Chains A and B, each alone.
Chain A
Amino acid sequence: MDIIEIVGLKHRYPDGRTSLDQIDLTIARGSFVVLAGANGAGKSTLLKHCNGLLTPLAGTVRVCGVSVMQDPLHARRTVGMVFQDADSQIVGETVYDDAAFGPENLNWPADRIKESALRALQLVGLATMPDRSPHLLSGGEKRRLAIAGVLAMEPEVIVLDEPFANLDYDGVRRILAQLVALHASGKTIVVCVHDLEKVLAHAGRLIIMREGRIVADGPPESVVLEAESHGVRIPAAVRLGGTVESWLR
């Protein structure tokens, strides 16, 4: 069953440039999708529509069969969104406060808030420092806290915008391991990247965007060969005729 359905989506930047042009896309429940494209290809703009943060000029976006425009709150509870810049999405003064921010907004009872926030912190490995100021976390820990803040709301789909940007090797591996674990637990994962190397081995589907359109879509092994012509670098292993090896090994 498809959890996200996008039909005929169009969007423009305020200055009149077209950012998304006639996007038709469905994402199946429980899939692991990589959305690739050069900077400015419209990846982030597309993702923000799944969450009701942007309003389409034309077309519809449905999450679990419910129109995002009609019920943005439903979409936001179902699709959790982790933005690229971790520093400007951490709201709480402490690690725990930030994890609890989403559940507090959902008006859950106090004990459920505590439980889900602590479980989310546990999942990303930050449960040992609930009182730490987010400013004192490392780059990788901040990214993990941003993920925890979304996980605490118990979404079905987790959308991540460039989750590996500016992370060291260890940081990348930890985030990746978390994504794989979340996928294994039944969540739908959509990862948006401009560099395929780190994540492609785990993807079940690769979508390439260029200038506001979807130009390639399908199983990673076949689509990846077209990547270079759309401004996305082909992973070195594929170039040499092999397959991409997981970073977790």
Chain B
Amino acid sequence: MAAVAFGFRSGRTVLHALDARVKLAALVFVSLAGLYAGLPALGLAFLVAFCLLALGRCSPLRCILGMKWYLVLLACVLIARTLTTPGDLIFELPWLPATRQGVHAGLLAAGRLLVIALLGLLVTFTTRPSDIRAAVEWLLRPIPFIPHRQAATMIGLLVRFIPVILSQSAEQQEALRARSIENCRNPLRRTTALAMPLLRRTCVTADRLASAMEARCYGAERTIPCRPVTAREWSALVVVVGFCALMLGIS
């Protein structure tokens, strides 16, 4: 379970070296293009995403494991669309109202989500969380009314404390099982018995963390490590924009 929180694996590929800002921008562009794309463009994007995953040295097994529940949801989308969209029946069976239009609509809906998810997975696997945080901070800077520094600090703490809270909750569940929580039929008691200690601990941790941060001079003004944008980043961005245009062009 805790493995989920460590999606990133270090590597030396081009994708690992690319600036996180470019990767995030690419993710957004291609996702938006994917929402308007037709089946041929989606097929192409799927192929490209697959090649990129191979380029980033992400093993197919890890990808499938990483998104197995998501794949189940996609299957639901495909089946639901196939069965509920009116049109020409494929099979002459009264209990299987699958239609040609339904299959098309289902493939389109599931394919779009699959492409977006694969690209997201790619970013997750090849980008250090702290780089993502820095990139978010940089990208949020021009947007008014959003305190980008605070947002970046919060994302950093979120990433830092997910594994901590995960292991605390596992500990908590074991402690409850050691005292035979399974025998308790009252769902309300079971819910509070698990959630209450977690929340209490979280509140205490928040107190301590706040004073520790204060002791280390946390304030609004901080130096933000930022890499300069190089020619590689610009050319990658141009390729991405070109690809989006191609996707929209062939739909």
Interface residues of A (CB under 8 A from B): 48, 51, 53, 73, 76-77, 80-81, 83, 85, 87-94, 97, 100-110, 113, 131, 133-135, 149-150, 153
**Which of chain B's residues have a CB closer than 8 A to the CB of A89?**
208-209, 212
Q: Does B230 contact A (CB under 8 A)?
A: no
Q: Are B223 and A109 in contact (CB under 8 A)?
A: yes
Interface residues of B (CB under 8 A from A): 2, 6, 10, 128-130, 133, 156-157, 159-160, 163-164, 167, 204-205, 208-209, 211-219, 221-225
A110 to chain B, nearest CB (A): 6
Also in contact, A106 and B217, with CB within 8 A (given A93-B160, A94-B130, A97-B130): yes
Nearest A residue to B215 via CB reads A81
How far is it, in angstroms, between the C-alpha of A229 and the C-alpha of B142 when the chains are bound?
63
Q: Are B208 and A85 in contact (CB under 8 A)?
A: yes
Nearest A residue to B132 via CB reads A93
**Which of chain B's residues have a CB closer than 8 A to the CB of A110?**
223, 225
A78 to chain B, nearest CB (A): 11
How far is it, in angstroms, between the C-alpha of A131 and the C-alpha of B211 when the chains are bound?
25
Q: Are B159 and A83 in contact (CB under 8 A)?
A: no
How far is it, in angstroms, between the C-alpha of A19 and the C-alpha of B224 when the chains are bound?
39
Q: 28 A-B Cβ contacts within 8 A?
A: A48-B211, A53-B211, A53-B214, A53-B215, A76-B216, A81-B212, A81-B215, A83-B211, A83-B212, A87-B205, A88-B212, A91-B156, A93-B129, A93-B130, A93-B160, A94-B130, A104-B223, A105-B217, A105-B218, A105-B219, A105-B222, A107-B223, A108-B223, A110-B223, A131-B128, A133-B163, A134-B160, A135-B164
**Which of chain B's residues have a CB closer than 8 A to the CB of A51?**
215
**Which of chain B's residues have a CB closer than 8 A to the CB of A48?**
211
Also in contact, A94 and B225, with CB within 8 A (given A88-B208, A88-B209, A105-B218): no
**Which of chain A's residues have a CB closer than 8 A to the CB of B133?**
93
Nearest B residue to A105 via CB reads B217
**Which of chain B's residues have a CB closer than 8 A to the CB of A104?**
222-225
**Which of chain A's residues have a CB closer than 8 A to the CB of B214?**
53, 76
Nearest A residue to B221 via CB reads A107
A52 to chain B, nearest CB (A): 8
A220 to chain B, nearest CB (A): 27
By Cβ-Cβ distance, the 8 closest A-B pairs, closest first, are A89-B212, A88-B208, A135-B163, A102-B216, A105-B217, A88-B205, A81-B215, A93-B159
How far is it, in angstroms, between the C-alpha of A101 and the C-alpha of B214 when the chains are bound?
11
Residue in contact with A93 in the complex, picked from B156, B212, B223, CB distance below 8 Å: B156
**Which of chain B's residues have a CB closer than 8 A to the CB of A153?**
216-217
Nearest B residue to A134 via CB reads B160
Q: Are B215 and A90 in contact (CB under 8 A)?
A: no
Q: Are A77 and B212 in contact (CB under 8 A)?
A: no
**Which of chain B's residues have a CB closer than 8 A to the CB of A107?**
221-223
**Which of chain A's residues have a CB closer than 8 A to the CB of B223?**
103-104, 107-110, 113
How far is it, in angstroms, between the C-alpha of A85 and the C-alpha of B212 when the chains are bound?
10
How far is it, in angstroms, between the C-alpha of A141 and the C-alpha of B93 when the chains are bound?
66
B33 to chain A, nearest CB (A): 31
Nearest B residue to A135 via CB reads B163
Also in contact, A91 and B209, with CB within 8 A (given A105-B219, A113-B223): yes
How far is it, in angstroms, between the C-alpha of A51 and the C-alpha of B164 when the chains are bound?
27
Q: Are B208 and A77 in contact (CB under 8 A)?
A: no
**Which of chain B's residues have a CB closer than 8 A to the CB of A53?**
211, 214-215
A132 to chain B, nearest CB (A): 11
Also in contact, A102 and B217, with CB within 8 A (given A88-B208, A134-B160): yes
**Which of chain A's residues have a CB closer than 8 A to the CB of B167?**
135
Also in contact, A105 and B216, with CB within 8 A (given A89-B209, A133-B6): yes
**Which of chain B's residues have a CB closer than 8 A to the CB of A94?**
128-130
B8 to chain A, nearest CB (A): 9
**Which of chain A's residues have a CB closer than 8 A to the CB of B217?**
73, 76-77, 102, 105-106, 153
**Which of chain A's residues have a CB closer than 8 A to the CB of B156?**
91-93, 97
**Which of chain A's residues have a CB closer than 8 A to the CB of B209?**
88-89, 91
A32 to chain B, nearest CB (A): 21
Nearest B residue to A97 via CB reads B130
Q: Are A150 and B216 in contact (CB under 8 A)?
A: yes
A230 to chain B, nearest CB (A): 27
How far is it, in angstroms, between the C-alpha of A229 and the C-alpha of B6 when the chains are bound?
51
Kindly list 8 other residue pairs between chains A and B, CB separation below 8 angstroms, not including A92-B130, A93-B129, A109-B223: A76-B214, A80-B215, A83-B208, A88-B212, A91-B212, A97-B130, A104-B224, A135-B163
